[in-house]
Structures are given as C-alpha cells and as structure tokens.
Amino acid sequence: MAVNKSEVEKKVIDIVVERMEVSRERVTPSTRLIEDLGADSLDIAELVMEFEEAFDISIPDDEEGVRSVGDAVNFIVSQLEASGD
C-alpha cells in the first residue's frame, strides 16, 4: 500500500505545532525539535507517543535518528511502508 508522504508530513507538523505551541510557519521538515523548538526530554517522549498513536505504529525507545521533523516523517513513512506489506 502506497504511503502518502505529504499527508504524513502534514499530520506530523499538526502534532508538533499543537504540542509545542509554535506557529505553523516555524515548523518545516528541517526544523530540529531540540535545537530549534526547545523540546526537552519530556516533550520528545510525549511527541513520540503522539506519533505512535496517530499512525498506529511503534517507535523503539532507542531510536536515535529522529532529530528533525523531517527525520520523524521519514521514519514514520518507512514504518508504515514496512507494515503495509
């Protein structure tokens, strides 16, 4: 099943905008959660859980690669594609 990447990106940005209370213009694929949005460890933990719930996937605890919004989108897309087989 083909995963619509731009839909995933929109949803991820929706979640980040709402949770981090920032304006939409500030959030692009290259926005880094910690350095640009000031997310702390609890914010990251909550965001990860929201992504898991919104996309019905599991994100392992030691997933180190997610630093930017774009990283999150790519990761989620690859999880959805893998489970869609």
Partner 1 sequence: MDSGRRVVVTGMGAVSPMAPTAPGTWDGMKAGRIAIRKIQSYDSTKHKVHIAAEVDDFGLDKYMSPKDARRLDRYAQFALVSAGEALADAGIEFETDGEKRRVKGLDAERIGVIIGTGVGGMREFEEQTYRLMEKGPGRVSPLLIPKLMPNAAAGNVAIFWGLKGLSYSASTACASGAHSIGLGADAIRSGQANIVLAGGCEAPITRVGVAGFENLGALSSNNDPLRASRPFDKDRDGFVIAEGAAVLVLEEYEHAKARGANIRAEFLGYGFTSDAYHITAPDETGDGPARAIRLSMQAAGVSADEIDYINAHGTSTLYNDKIETLSIKKALGEERAHKVPVSSIKSMIGHSLGAAGAIEAVVCCYALQEGVLPPTMNYVTPDPDCDLDYVPNEAREADVKVVLSTSLGFGGHNACLAFRRI
Determine if 19 is a binding residue for partner 1 (CB under 8 A): yes
**Residue among 34 and 49 whose Cβ is closer to partner 1:** 49
Burial class of residue 76 in the structure, from the number of CB atoms within 10 Å of its CB (0-12 exposed, 13-18 middle, 19+ buried) = buried
**For partner 1, the closer CB: 6 or 41:** 41
**Is there a contact between 19 and 43 (Cβ–Cβ < 8 Å)?**
yes
Q: By three-state DSSP, how is residue 26 classified?
A: helix
Q: Tell me: does residue 42 bind partner 1 (CB under 8 A).
A: yes
Annotated active-site residue 40? The verdict is yes
82 binds partner 1 (CB under 8 A): no
| Catalytic machinery residues | 40
